[in-house]
């Protein structure tokens, strides 16, 4: 059984494309530029299930047309519309120096000064000039932390944590 901590989200399936089982896939990671994947993992009613790729092709920078094995009709493909798509962490060729933002979702953010866990990174907001970590604290509060490379001291994929010099007073806001 595949566990959530063994994968990271790379997008969501859209509508079928054509009549031979292709599905539009809105991709949020550059995994296809880095790795030749045999399979992707879909969230089917809360269960992570591997689906083997027959082929894929880029429609544009943000959309890929995927054809999974044994999905051969538009009707079959339609059953997977809206499914979240994940990629196995162990197949990613990223090291701690060049991980994608999608790969750090779920990591703990640790204040390098105090050594305390600030919370869990739920999302990386790249819609502005300055990247932001959206972090949920143990108390359930949501906070935004600037994701500046100058502040990040260490990334540990093994521990699933990022140690960061968080500016004084930022956590008190």
Domain boundaries, the chain: 4-91, 101-165
The HSE-up count of residue 121 (CA atoms within 13 Å, CB side) is 27
What pLDDT was estimated at residue 96? 66
| Statement: residue 77 has pLDDT above 80 | yes
Give the CA-trace dihedral at 156, 157, 158, 162, to 10 degrees.
40
8 Å CB contact between 33 and 100: no
**Residue with tokens 């920078």, as numbered in its chain:** 61
Compute CA 124 distance to the chain's CA centroid, rounded to the nearest angstrom.
10
| Mean pLDDT rounded to a whole number for the chain | 91
So what's the architecture of 101-165 in CATH?
A: Roll (2.30)
What mean pLDDT do residues 63-84 have? 97
What six digits make up the tokens of 168?
């004084």
pLDDT at residue 11 greater than cutoff 90: yes
- Quick one: pLDDT at residue 116? 92
Look at residue 94 in the predicted model and tell me its pLDDT: 63
Q: Is 139 helix (H, G, I), strand (E, B) or coil?
A: coil
**pLDDT bucket at 167, cuts 50 / 70 / 90:** confident
DSSP secondary structure of 60-84: SSSEEEEEETT--SHHHHHTTTT-E
CATH code for the domain defined by 4-91: 2.40.30.60
């Amino acid at each position: 059984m595949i566990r959530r901590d063994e994968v990271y989200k790379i997008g969501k399936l859209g509508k079928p494309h054509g009549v031979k089982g292709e599905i539009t896939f809105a991709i949020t990671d550059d995994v296809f530029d880095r790795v030749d994947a045999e399979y992707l993992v879909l969230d089917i009613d809360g269960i992570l299930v591997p689906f083997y790729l027959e082929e894929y092709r880029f429609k544009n920078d943000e959309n890929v047309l995927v054809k999974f094995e044994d999905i051969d009709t538009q009707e079959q493909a339609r059953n997977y519309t809206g499914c979240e798509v994940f990629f196995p962490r162990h197949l990613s060729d990223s090291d701690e120096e060049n991980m994608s933002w999608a790969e750090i979702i779920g990591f703990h953010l640790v204040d390098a000064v105090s050594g305390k866990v600030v919370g869990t990174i739920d999302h990386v907001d790249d819609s502005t000039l300055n990247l932001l970590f959206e972090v949920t604290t143990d108390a359930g509060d949501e906070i935004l932390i600037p994701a500046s490379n100058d502040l990040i001291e260490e990334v540990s994929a093994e521990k699933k944590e990022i140690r960061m010099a968080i500016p004084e007073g930022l956590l008190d806001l």
